[in-house]
Amino acid sequence: MKVKNFFIGGRFLLPALAAGIPIAVLVIASLSVSSQQAAAVSAVEQVNAVTHKAVKPKPVVRTMEVQKGDSLSQILLNLGVNQNEVLGIITTISKKFDPTRLQPGQKISLTFDPEVPFYLLSMVFQIDSLHDLTVTRSENQSFTAAIRMRPMFIRDRAVTGTINNSLYTDGMSDGVPASVLMEMIDMYGFEVDFQRDISHGDRFAIMWQQFDDADGKPIQPGDLVMGQLKLNDSTLSIYGFTGSSGRTNYFDAAGRSLRKALLKAPVRYPYITSPFGWRVNPFLGVGGATDFHRGVDFGAMPGTPIFAGGDGVVEFFGYDSIYGDHVWLKHVNGYESLYAHMEAYARGLHVGEHVYQGQVIGFVGSTGEATGPHVHYEVHLWGRAVNPETLNFPPQQILKGPELNAFLIHKDRIVQKFQELTSR
C-alpha cells in the first residue's frame, strides 16, 4: 500500500498507518499547537506595547552659570522661555529674594518639558552658602517659589602647628578658618596675653566643625571644638561644652570655664593709652597736677564695637561733661562696670535690659573729656574701683555633679577624635 504524507499546521506528519495514530487525532493536536503559538505571539506584542507606552522622554535639564552683567530675566528669555512667563517668574521670586542680587558665578539649574519646547517646569539656584531658591510650576500653570536649606554634612577637622609669627597668621597658613581662630583667641584672652606670653616656637592644636555640601566641598566653618596652647613648659587645653543652660561655653580639663566674670578689656585688640592709678591729668596737668584714674583707657578707632564686660543689666546710659556718652552695667556678686566716651549706643539699648558678656553695647568715640577716640573702662566691686588688668576675676562657671561627669565624658571623646584625625 502506498503511504501518503500529510502537511498540517506547517509540519509534515508521519504516515498515519505507520505511526498507529488516527489522522483525526493528529489534526486536532496540530491545531492546538498553532493556537498556543498564536497566543504566545499575541502576549509578547501586548507586553511590548505596554512597555513602549510606559517609556517617556526624560525632562531636559540645563545648567547655567551667571556671567557679569547677566540678569535673571535675560537668562530665561535667552533660553526661550515665554516673555509673559518670565514676568510671572520674576514677580514670584521677588517675594522671596531680590533677583537683582544675582552674582557672577552663581549656578542656575532649569528643567524643561521634553515634549513642549521651552516649557519651564522648575528652576533652582543657590542664593547663599546655605540656601537654595526653588521655583516650581504648579498644576494651575502658575509658579511658586520657596527657600530651602541646602543639605549639609558636619565633619570634624584638626590641625597642629608651630607659632612663628602669631597664632592667627600661622593658623591661617595651616588652613584654620579665621572665625575659628578668632573664637580661640577670644577664649584664651582670659588667660593668655598674646603680646607678652607667646614665644617663637610655641605649639598650638585646634579642632573644629566643618560644614560640607553633598559633594564634600566646604560650605562654612562651624564652632571651635577644642584648642590647645603649649607655651614654654605649660599646656592649656580648652573644650567646648553645652551644659544644662543650653549655652555653649569653653572649659579647661577640670571643668572651669575660661570665661571670667568680667572681661579685662571691652574691645578687641586693646592697647592701653592710660592705665589705672595716679597720673598727670591731661586736662588738669598744668603745673604737674595729678588725679587718680579709676579705670583703664583703651585706644581704638572711632566706631569700634564696645562689648559688655560680663552678663548683667543696663543700670544707666546717658551723657555728662566728663564721661560723655556712657553706660553703667550691674553684674552679680557686687560687680559694676562703666564704659565712657562712646560715639553711639547699640541700637535698642535701654535701662533694665539684660545683656550678655561680649554683647555690643556701644561704639568707641571721644565724647566728654577725651583727647582722642578711646573707651574708658571702669570696674567696681561693692562700690570701690578696682584695676581690671590685675584683678583675678573668678570663672564665669564651674561645672559640678552630673554636669561635670557629662563634661568629662564629652572631653574624653573629643581627645580620642582629635588623636584619630591627627594620626592619619
In degrees, to the nearest 5, what angle opens at C-alpha 306 toward C-alphas 364 and 330? 120
C-alpha separations of 404 from 211, 242, 251, 397, 398 in Å = 29, 11, 10, 11, 8
Distance CA 358, CA 185 (A): 13
Pick the CATH number of 60-149 from 3.40.50.720, 3.40.605.10, 3.10.450.350, 3.40.640.10: 3.10.450.350
Q: Where are the CATH 2.70.70.10 domain residues in the chain? A: 271-386
CATH of domain 271-386: 2.70.70.10
Measured between alpha carbons, how far is residue 223 from residues 249, 265, 306 in Å? 11, 23, 23
Burial of 392 (0-12, 13-18, 19+ CB in 10 A): exposed
Contact 193, 158 (CB under 8 A): no
List, by residue range, all CATH 3.10.450.350 domains of the chain: 60-149, 153-251
- Residue 212: what pLDDT? 87
Read off φ and ψ for residue 348, nearest 5 degrees.
Answer: 85, 0
Placement of cell 517609556 in the chain: 55
CATH topology of domain 153-251: Nuclear Transport Factor 2; Chain: A, (3.10.450)
pLDDT the model gives residue 48: 53
Torsion, Cα 366 369 375 380, to 10 degrees, reads -160
Q: Are 299 and 372 in contact (CB under 8 A)?
A: yes
Rg, Å, the chain Cα set: 39
Split the chain (424 residues) into runs of 10 and give each run's mean pLDDT.
43 43 44 47 51 70 89 90 90 90 88 90 86 89 88 91 94 94 89 82 96 82 95 91 87 93 87 85 60 91 95 96 96 94 96 95 96 95 92 88 96 96 88
- Sign for the CA dihedral angle at 377, 381, 384, 387 comes to negative
Backbone angles phi, psi at 138, to 5 degrees: -90, 175
* All three cell numbers of 287: 603745673
What span, in angstroms and rounded, lies between the C-alpha atoms of 264 and 196? 15
Contacts of 354 (CB under 8 A, 6+ apart): 311, 312, 313
Grid coordinates belonging to 160? 597642629
Cell of 86: 518670565
